[in-house]
């Protein structure tokens, strides 16, 4: 019996370092960026509801590719309120290195040659355009300088059924994920589909973000529909619109994919004044 007891003790001693390492890895599942905790939306043990309420402390340093809309979307803010808190007037121009604060103190911008705008006008200046001192603002803001090669001049339109509020389904396919209001990380719905399947604008609006800078969303499009509503379309294979482009309901804006996730699907969100709402309350009944 004494021998068996010593064997059990030995197992405990061997397991202690393993358990300690597991705790360390769990602590590393989220990161801190410029004083604000950033949680991976797809991580199964991410803190529930970490982005349900707007972040009200810390700061964020603007990275290349950010817009005021994408930063507000990431941290649960209405873009107008976040811009006002940081003293940034319309058209909400921000620059790499600029500090966006969530606690009411204005951030200061670093000197930089490249401006990033969140305006709905296509006024993002490319690096090559910024390096030519004689290039006019109008020339630098042409779609040739800013549009991705995949953007189409005449994107295909599809006839869609619209709800009384004017919303349409962004894709056909089975509903595999529902919105939850109990603090879970799913702030929208998930629609299954085929690789390359058209992703459609759910309502008329302006593209205010097109890129892959928001972790957990893959290739993402954000459309501003009014001063109240924006919609988001994540995990696309390819984006077919550019920032500043006007789109119509039923217009193809992307191809469905699996970027940032483990299967082909569309993650779709509607946000009202920065807060996620249940898209099924706005979309027409199937």
Residue 7 lies in a domain: no
Instruction: Let me know whether 125 and 214 are in one domain.
Output: no
Total of domains in the chain: 2
Nearest to 143 by CA among 124, 120, 160: 124
Per-residue pLDDT of the chain (286 residues; tens, 9 = 90+): 554 544 444 444 444 444 444 443 344 334 444 444 333 344 333 333 334 578 888 999 999 999 999 999 999 999 899 999 999 998 899 999 999 999 866 544 443 333 344 433 333 333 333 333 333 333 333 333 334 444 445 566 776 777 778 899 999 999 999 998 775 567 899 999 999 999 999 999 999 999 999 999 999 999 999 999 999 999 999 999 999 999 999 999 999 999 999 999 999 999 999 999 999 999 999 8
Instruction: Let me know whether 189 and 118 are in one domain.
Output: no
Residue 137 lies in a domain: yes
Instruction: Let me know whether 87 and 179 are in one domain.
Output: no
Give the domain-ending residue among 102, 129, 146: 146
The answer for 196, left when phi > 0, alpha when psi is -120 to 50, beta otherwise, is left
Length of the chain: 286
Give the domain-ending residue among 103, 126, 146: 146
Q: How far is CA 220 from CA 14, 120, 241, 255, in A?
A: 46, 17, 11, 11
Structure letter (DSSP) for residue 122: S
Query: In the chain, what is the greatest distance between 2 CA atoms, to the nearest angstrom?
Result: 89
Query: Which pLDDT belongs to residue 52?
Result: 54
**Domain limits for position 190:** 175-281
Domain holding 71: CATH number? 3.10.350.10
Query: Which pLDDT belongs to residue 183?
Result: 58
Query: Which pLDDT belongs to residue 124?
Result: 32
Query: Which pLDDT belongs to residue 142?
Result: 33
Query: Which pLDDT belongs to residue 63?
Result: 94
Query: Which pLDDT belongs to residue 162?
Result: 79
Query: Which pLDDT belongs to residue 202?
Result: 97
Instruction: Let me know whether 265 and 191 are in one domain.
Output: yes
Residue 246 lies in a domain: yes
Cβ 51 vs Cβ 39: under 8 Å: yes
The secondary structure of 162-198 as a DSSP string is --TTS---SS-S-EEE---SSS-S--SEEEE--TT-E
Instruction: Let me know whether 124 and 181 are in one domain.
Output: no
Tokens 């930089």 belong to residue = 112
- Is residue 103 exposed (0-12), middle (13-18) or buried (19+ Cβ within 10 Å)? exposed
Instruction: Let me know whether 134 and 199 are in one domain.
Output: no
Query: Which pLDDT belongs to residue 47?
Result: 33
Query: Which pLDDT belongs to residue 115?
Result: 39
């Amino acid at each position: 019996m004494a021998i068996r007891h010593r064997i059990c003790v030995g197992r405990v001693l061997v397991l202690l370092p393993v358990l300690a390492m597991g705790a360390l890895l769990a602590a590393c599942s989220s990161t801190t960026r410029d004083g604000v905790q950033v949680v991976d939306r797809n991580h199964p043990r991410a803190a529930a509801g970490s982005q349900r309420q707007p972040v009200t402390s810390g700061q964020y340093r603007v990275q290349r590719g950010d817009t005021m809309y994408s930063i507000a979307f990431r941290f649960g803010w209405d873009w107008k309120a976040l811009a006002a808190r940081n003293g940034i007037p319309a058209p909400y121009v921000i620059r790499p290195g600029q500090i966006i604060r969530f606690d009411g103190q204005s951030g200061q911008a670093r000197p930089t040659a490249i401006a990033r705008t969140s305006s709905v006008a296509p006024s993002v200046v490319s690096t090559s355009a910024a390096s030519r001192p004689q290039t006019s603002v109008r020339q630098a803001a042409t779609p040739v300088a800013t549009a991705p090669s995949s953007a189409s001049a005449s994107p295909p339109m599809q006839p869609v059924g619209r709800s009384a509020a004017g919303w349409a389904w962004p894709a056909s396919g089975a509903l595999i994920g529902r919105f939850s209001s109990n603090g879970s990380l799913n702030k929208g719905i998930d629609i299954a589909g085929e690789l390359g399947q058209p992703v459609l604008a759910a309502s008329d609006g302006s593209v205010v973000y097109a890129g892959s800078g928001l972790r957990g969303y893959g290739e993402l499009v954000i459309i501003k529909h009014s001063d109240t509503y924006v919609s988001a379309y994540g995990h696309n294979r390819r984006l077919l619109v550019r920032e500043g482009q006007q789109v119509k309901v039923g217009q193809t804006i992307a191809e469905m994919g699996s970027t940032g996730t483990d299967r082909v699907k569309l993650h779709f969100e509607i946000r009202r004044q920065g807060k996620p709402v249940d898209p099924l309350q706005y979309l027409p009944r199937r």
